[in-house]
A and B are shown apart, each in its own frame.
Chain A
Amino acid sequence: AQSVSQHNHHVILSEAASLELGCNYSYGGTVNLFWYVQYPGQHLQLLLKYFSGDPLVKGIKGFEAEFIKSKFSFNLRKPSVQWSDTAEYFCAVISSASKIIFGSGTRLSIRP
C-alpha cells in the first residue's frame, strides 16, 4: 500500500537555525509531491510542489524541497527559521489520479 512517512513528529529549533524535515514515500511510479503548512488556527496552505523537471523546488517564505527519486524522498529545508515558521507541516504524495496520501505531520516549534 502507498504510504508517506514523516519521521519527525515534533521538532524544536531556535530562531536562525537551519531546518530539514524528512519525508519518504513508498510508490515506484510517477508521483507528484507536496508540502503543506498549517499555521496555528489557520487552514492548510500549499508551501511548494513538485510535478516534474528540476528536482529542487522553491516555495513560499524561503522554503525549498529536494526530490530524490532514488531515495523516495522529498525533504523540506529552510536555511534560517523564524519564530513565524511555528506550524505543522505535512508532506503529501499523489501517485494515482485524484487520491492524495498525507504524512502524519511534523510539528515545528521555534524558540524566540
Chain B
Amino acid sequence: DVKVTQSSRYLVKRTGEKVFLECVQDMDHENMFWYRQDPGLGLRLIYFSYDVKMKEKGDIPEGYSVSREKKERFSLILESASTNQTSMYLCATSPGGRDTIYFGEGSWLTVV
C-alpha cells in the first residue's frame, strides 16, 4: 500500500507566522502535489513537483512556496500566514504520467 504521511493533522497559527507543512511518501513516486480543499471549491492545486528540486506552480500558488530536497519529502511553506489560508491541505503522490494519485490524510490549518 502507498503511504503518504503528513506530519501535522491539526495546526493553529497566528497571522504573519511562517508555517511548514511536511509530507513524506514511501513509494519512490516521481510526482508530489500540494492541494487545498475548501467547501464548495473542491481541490485546488497549489504546487507540484515531478523531480527532486523541481517544482511547478499550480492554480493558486500565491502566498505559498515549496521545497523538495529529497525524493520522498515535499514541503509546503506559508511565508506569512493569513486568515484566508485557513483550510485543509492535502499532499498527494503519483508514479508519473497519467497514473493514479494517492493522498495523505490532510492537515487542517487554522490561522487566527
Query: Residues of A at under 8 Å CB distance from B?
Result: 9, 31-32, 34, 36, 42-46, 49, 51, 90, 92, 94-100, 102-105
CB–CB A98/B48 < 8 A: yes
CB–CB A102/B43 < 8 A: yes
> Is B90 among interface residues, defined by CB-CB distance under 8 A?
yes
- How many A-B residue contacts, CB cutoff 8 Å? 52
Report the stretch among B16-24, B77-85, B98-106 that lies at the interface.
Answer: B98-106
Query: Residues of B at under 8 Å CB distance from A?
Result: 31, 33, 35, 40-43, 45, 48, 50, 90, 92, 94, 96-106
Known: A90-B42, A98-B48. Contact between A43 and B101, CB under 8 A?
Answer: no
Closest 10 CB pairs of A and B: A104-B42, A44-B103, A94-B98, A43-B105, A32-B98, A102-B43, A105-B42, A43-B103, A102-B42, A98-B31
Nearest residue (CB) in A for B4 is A43
| B98 neighbours in A (Cβ, 8 Å) | 31-32, 51, 94-98
In the assembled complex, the CB of A84 is this many whole angstroms from the nearest CB of chain B, namely: 19
CB–CB B96/A97 < 8 A: yes
Contact of B100 among A46, A90, A98, A103 (CB under 8 A): A46
Assembly CA distance A32 to B105 (angstroms): 24
| B102 neighbours in A (Cβ, 8 Å) | 46
| A94 neighbours in B (Cβ, 8 Å) | 98
CB–CB B100/A34 < 8 A: yes
| B45 neighbours in A (Cβ, 8 Å) | 99-100
12 pairs, CB–CB < 8 Å, chain A vs chain B: A43-B104, A44-B90, A44-B92, A45-B103, A90-B42, A92-B101, A95-B98, A98-B98, A100-B101, A102-B35, A102-B42, A102-B43
